[in-house]
Amino acid sequence: MAREPKPIDELTIWDDAKAMIRKGRAEGIETVHERLAQQTPHCKFCELGTTCRNCTMGPCRISEKMPRGVCGADAHVVVARNFGRFIAGGAAGHSDHGRDLIEVLEAIVEGETGDYRITDEAKLRAIAAEVGVQTEGRAVMDVARDVMEVFYGDFGSRKKEVAFLSRVPQKRKDIWNKLGMTPRGVDREIAEMMHRTHMGCDNDAPNTLIHAARTALADGWSGSMIGTELSDVIFGTPTPRMSTANLGVIKKDQVNILVHGHNPVVSEMILAAAREPEMVAKAKALGATGINVAGLCCTGNELLMRQGIPMAGNHLMTELAIITGAVEAIVVDYQCIMPSLVQISGCYHTKFIDTAQKARFTGGIHFDIHPHNALSEARKIVEIAVNAFAERDAPRVDIPCEPVEIMTGFSNEAIIGALGGSLDPLVQAIASGEIRGAVGIVGCNNPKFKQDSMNVGLAKELIKRDILVLATGCVTTAAGKAGLLVPQAIDMAGPGLKKVCGALGIPPVLHYGSCVDNSRIMQLCAALANALGVDISDLPVGASSPEWYSEKAAAIGLYAVASGIYTHLGHPPNILGSTVVTDLAVSGLEGLVGASFFIEPDPVKTAEMFDIRIRAKRKALGLSE
Ligand code: SF4
Ligand code: MSK
């Protein structure tokens, strides 16, 4: 029997969220929390990962009484196959996002768009040199064309390794080569995972997991990394700037447009159109004081990092933002967009607008956006939003709080700039113990957790221990709302971190970008390891996805581990039905790649685990613990 939804106080740590869940319930609007209650308890076989529907001799459920599927597959094979496909899904999402940026670069190079351009030529030339493209004395478009070809090549089958492995320490590459884990091509590894998990192929769980790691590495060191780097080239490399966050960024007197999804290609155009004086004049003619473009999830992070737009919320705030009754349009690209947003938009005057052929929503208004028509289509979208302002039902508007300040825009280039041009001061701060280590806290919300309790709780516990936190994805908004993304947050940090961040005028939790921008963290770790002449697994660093939900987050976790980074998850993926797979994930991988996962739902205990790990890594490097 379905369960009753939990009391509101148990669902989230945020007052703005509580107010909107309450308003939604009063107005008869169902959200993720009600639907989770309806779906609980979940299927036990699926939770354990022991159900298989990879062929029509099944579907099969593996248990003590029924230890093998119709084909003979046991629990280990079934769990490994399911996990492998889960990882392939995540890698496909990030990497297809990366490919879309290559297509925009191609449109620029071929002169097929005037809406996009190369904004950061220096970065283009820098990455060209890293992937073996000649730059000296060459015109920018010639360099861009060759970079485009190299990156398209990363998606194919002709390479021995993807291009950005040029960044990886040789010791790490040797490990991958020995294990057969070197990512050769993004689409190749994903396709091979689908092949291996067909009935009658890879029936050895550890072998399937090695390929899962290779698939994830193709995501982290290619698909995602290309997404990040080309976004910087096209839209500009982020630099530190101030902005605001929480539902209070939605303005009562303005046309509010929320951009949601992951890829900045469309949302940058929406912002550009909304800033055009003619469009603002139209909004004013209808009684609004302006047009406010605010972000949700990672498209929000992308525009926040580069343009400083305000951030309305993370994953579990997306439905609640509409319930304010003050959103004229929600414009989406792809990934993490709950289909329920269409229904909730329909309860208000909100227009739900989808923009990607590969992410259509029944009931949404569709615009087919491509590089050649992006800005003109964006203008039509903004006009729809402006006109919707006249349909707003004023008595139903409730914006529950005032926004809080945040600092954003921490790319590696910005960090190196702030450090005076090299990583040396960071290396010295780590060596002296002022910064004892660093942990990337990344990923999502999941209604199975009290929203952001782990995301925020862990960040606070780590900075207290002089461990620098780099945040991406939906953790960024959580950290911002908790006051951790402003320089004054050093008051919550330990003495060493307080000193270093205070001197630089930066927060102890750095907003490092969107989900694909975890590649920035990987690049930083590789650069630190290269600077010290060690492997990534030797560094006093860690990664965590406390409240993760998505296939993409699992792929991120796996490429972090395979890169040598000890990685925490707040709850396990659906693998517990196999001791072989579970043991490999939480311990066996340590012997193979020098890192493993650990699962822990408590933020204090998690921080303690990281502390122990960082102490051990520091000691092995000959540093004070
Ligand atoms: Fe069952 Fe094997 Fe078919 Fe899976 S592949 S559904 S375990 S028969
Ligand atoms: S949006 S993958 S809920 S971080 Fe990147 Fe947030 Fe997780 Fe989506």
What CATH architecture is 247-396? Answer: 3-Layer(aba) Sandwich (3.40)
579 alpha carbon – ligand 1 mean position (Å): 19
SS3 letters for 178-232? HHCCCCCCHHHHHHHHHHHCCCCCCCCHHHHHHHHHHHHHHHHHHHHHHHHHHHH
Nearest to 346 by CA among 29, 36, 38: 29
Instruction: Note whether 443 and 547 are within 8 A (CB).
Output: yes
Q: Which residue owns the Cα nearest ligand 2 atom 3?
A: 444
Which residue from 334, 333, 353 is spatially nearest to 342, judged by alpha carbons? 353
Only one residue has tokens 């060493």, namely 496
Whether 426 contacts 281, CB under 8 Å: no
Residue environment code for 489-516, b if the CB has 16+ CB neighbours within 10 A, otherwise e: bbebbbebbbbbbeebebbbbbbbbbbb
**Dihedral sign, Cα of residue 73, residue 79, residue 85, residue 91:** negative
Tell me the residue type at 252: K
Q: Kindly give the distance from the C-alpha atom of residue 211 to the centroid of ligand 1, in angstroms, as a whole number.
A: 20
Exposed/middle/buried for 521, CB within 10 Å: 0-12, 13-18, 19+? Answer: buried
Cis peptide before 59 (omega within 30 of 0): yes
Per the annotation, where are the binding residues for [Ni-4Fe-4S] cluster? 262, 298, 336, 444, 474, 515
* H or E segment to which residue 353 belongs: strand 351-354
DSSP string computed for 242-268: EEEESGGGS-TTSEEEEEESS-HHHHH
Give me 160's structure tokens. 């021995």
Query: Whose C-alpha lies nearest to ligand 1, atom 4?
Result: 52
Which ligand approaches the C-alpha of residue 313 most closely?
2
β-pairing, 311-313 vs 597-599, is unpaired
Mutate to test the pocket of ligand 1, among 46, 55, 202, 203 (most ligand atoms within 8 A of CB): 55
Q: What is the pTM of this model?
A: 0.97
Q: What is the pLDDT of residue 3?
A: 73
State the ligand closest to the CA atom of 56: 1
Strand partners, 569: 545, 599
- Rounded to the nearest 5 degrees, what angle is found at the Cα of 111, between the Cα atoms of 106 and 113? 80
Work out which ligand 1 atom sits closest to the CA atom of 59.
6
197, with CB counted inside 10 A (0-12, 13-18, 19+), is buried
Annotated binding site for [4Fe-4S] cluster: 43, 52, 55, 60, 71
Q: Which ligand is nearest to the CA of 62?
A: 1
Residue 196 Cα to ligand 1 middle (Å): 13
Does the CB atom of residue 473 touch ligand 2 within 6 A? yes
Residue nearest to atom 8 of ligand 2 (CA): 336
List, as one string, the DSSP characters of 493-546. Answer: S-HHHHHHHHHHT--SEEEEESSTTHHHHHHHHHHHHHHHTS-GGGSSEEEEET
Residue bearing tokens 């309450």: 22
Counting from 1 in the atom list of ligand 1, the atom nearest the Cα of 60 is 1
Q: What tokens does 568 get?
A: 């925490």
Which of 391, 389, 260 lies closest to 335 in space, CA to CA? 260
Residue 127 has a pLDDT of 98
How far is the centre of ligand 1, averaged over its atoms, from the C-alpha of 85 (Å)? 14
Closest listed residue to residue 83, CA positions, set 594, 561, 605, 595:
561
**Ligand 2 atom closest to 443 (CA):** 4
The response to whether residue 474 sits with its C-beta less than 6 Å from ligand 2 reads yes
Nearest ligand 2 atom to the CA of 550 is 2
The token pair at 611 is 């502390």
pLDDT at 4: 78
Q: Which helix (H) or strand (E) holds 296?
A: strand 291-296
Q: Which parts of the chain have pLDDT scores under 50?
A: none
pLDDT tens track for 352-386: 999 999 999 999 999 999 999 999 999 999 999 99
Compute the distance from residue 364 Cα to the ligand 1 centre, in Å. Answer: 37
Give the three-class secondary structure for 332.
Answer: strand
Which CATH class for the 75-235 domain? mainly alpha
Q: Which residues pair with 563 in a beta bridge?
A: none
Domain ranges, ordered by start, for the chain? 75-235, 247-396, 411-621
Q: Pull the structure tokens for residue 530.
A: 């290269």
State how beta strands 566-569 and 541-545 pair: parallel
User: Does the C-beta of 550 come closer than 6 Å to ligand 2?
Assistant: yes
Cα 227 from Cα 238, distance rounded (Å): 14
Alpha carbon distance 436, 4 (integer Å): 45
What is the model's pLDDT at position 13?
98
Ligand 2 contact, 298 CB (< 6 A): yes
For residue 90, give the ligand nearest its CA. Answer: 2
Continuous H helices in 324-444: 340-346, 374-388, 412-418, 424-432
Q: What residue ranges line ligand 1, CB within 6 angstroms? A: 52-55, 57-60, 69-71, 73, 78, 199
413's CB contacts (< 8 A; 6+ apart) are 123, 237
pLDDT at 606: 98
Q: Ligand 1: which of 51, 81, 199 to mutate, most ligand atoms within 8 Å of CB?
A: 199
Q: Which ligand is nearest to the CA of 70?
A: 1
Residue whose pair of structure tokens reads 């540093």 in the numeric block: 623
Establish whether domains 75-235 and 411-621 are of one fold: no
Is residue 406 a contact partner of residue 245, using CB atoms and an 8 Å limit? yes
Atom from ligand 2 closest to the CA of residue 473: 4
Which residues 6+ apart lie within 8 Å of 162 measured at CB?
A: 154, 183, 184, 185, 186, 218, 221, 222
Spatial CA neighbour of 333 closest among 234, 409, 227, 246? 227
Residue of 315, 335, 571 best suited for mutating to test ligand 2, as the one with most atoms within 8 Å of CB: 315
Q: What is the architecture of the domain spanning 411-621?
A: 3-Layer(aba) Sandwich (3.40)
Q: What is the pLDDT of residues 173-216, one digit of tens each?
A: 999 999 999 999 999 999 999 999 999 999 999 999 999 999 99
Q: How far is CA 436 from the centre of its chain?
A: 25
79 to each of 42, 209, 304, 466, 509, how far by Cα in Å?
17, 10, 39, 38, 36
